[in-house]
Chains A and B, each alone.
Chain A
Amino acid sequence: METRVISGKTIEIDTDGNLADHTVWDENIALELAKELGIDELTDGHKKVIHYLRDEYKSSGEIPTMRKIGKKSGVDMKELYKLFPDGPLKKAAKISGLPKPKSCV
């Protein structure tokens, strides 16, 4: 598996460039990945979404849909698109250290 250095750590990544193992994730990694995606700082809104995604993934093994995030994370749909422009679910999952989402909605 490919590796790369993120925030000073050598980390395994999958073919989509997402972390191969979500347990090595920390907030510094999140910030560096966010910057690469054009998000310069992680606000409380970003963090709400990230922690919601990580909690859901840990308990169900799946990344929640946009609809679910919009309803349950405390950040609504409009805000989600503002916080993670040009691909909210894909970007949020990557920053959260999770694999690329597989759902269509």
Chain B
Amino acid sequence: MTEETKYEPIKKVSIVISKGSLDGIYPGLIMANGARMEGIEAMVFFTFFGLETIIKKRMNKIKVATVGNPGMHIPTIIGAIPGMSSFATTMMKKEMDKLDIPPVDEFIEMLSAAGAKLYACKAAMDMFHYKKEDLIDEVEAILTVGEFYELSAGAQIIFT
């Protein structure tokens, strides 16, 4: 009989969401929420286009990427037809609703109520000329990369 290695359970995750498409942000949101459901401490850092998830005016306008996304199984030239992205987004939202996965704004509320900490990336804020007022209230703070690493102490960092 071989002895099985016993690993320490994960206690904290620090998830980075860097993409601004619906298929880019949901995996990170689902994993952060799933962590809280398991009693794992969770923080989410929104950077680059992922920042739109926590921008009041943008959060509910995020769409599925139909161009340059081989997983969609549609040729790029068709994916580029006006309306394709909206169509794919509607389809995906319907499927997610069946699984009881909420829309972006409700998902953020849920994460916050679950005790996940949400942070905006300072570099991305500056780059896209966003101000603190553009962020939703659930955001704890705007962090530099250094501060992000500091707060991630003891966490597994997951980049999405």
Physical interaction between A and B: yes
Chain B 38-49 interface 0/1 with A at a Cβ cutoff of 8 Å (1 = within)? 110000000000
Pair B34/A70 contact, Cβ less than 8 Å = no
Chain A 54-79 interface 0/1 with B at a Cβ cutoff of 8 Å (1 = within)? 00000000000111101000001110
Residue of B33, B99, B109, B113 with most partner-chain A CB within 10 A:
B113
Judged by a CB distance under 8 angstroms, whether A87 is at the interface is: yes
Interface residues on B, range: 10 to 19
Chain B 6-35 interface 0/1 with A at a Cβ cutoff of 8 Å (1 = within)? 000000000000000000000000100110
Report Cα–Cα, A78/B100, bound state, in Å: 18
Report Cα–Cα, A68/B99, bound state, in Å: 11
Judged by a CB distance under 8 angstroms, whether A1 is at the interface is: no
Report Cα–Cα, A19/B158, bound state, in Å: 35
Q: Which of A24-80 contact B (CB under 8 A)?
A: 65-68, 70, 76-78
Pair A105/B39 contact, Cβ less than 8 Å = no
Contact partner of B99 (CB less than 8 A), chosen from A70, A77, A90, A105, is A105
Q: A81-B113, A104-B34 are contacts. A87–B100 as well, Cβ < 8 Å?
A: no
- 29 of the cross-chain contacts (CB-CB < 8 Å) are A66-B37, A66-B114, A67-B102, A67-B110, A68-B100, A70-B110, A70-B113, A76-B113, A77-B109, A77-B110, A77-B113, A77-B114, A78-B113, A78-B114, A81-B36, A81-B113, A87-B37, A87-B38, A87-B39, A88-B37, A89-B37, A90-B37, A90-B38, A104-B30, A104-B34, A105-B30, A105-B34, A105-B37, A105-B99
| B interface with A by C-beta (< 8 Å) | 30, 33-34, 36-39, 99-102, 106, 109-110, 113-115
> Which 5 A/B pairs are nearest by Cβ-Cβ distance?
A86-B39, A77-B113, A87-B39, A65-B100, A78-B113
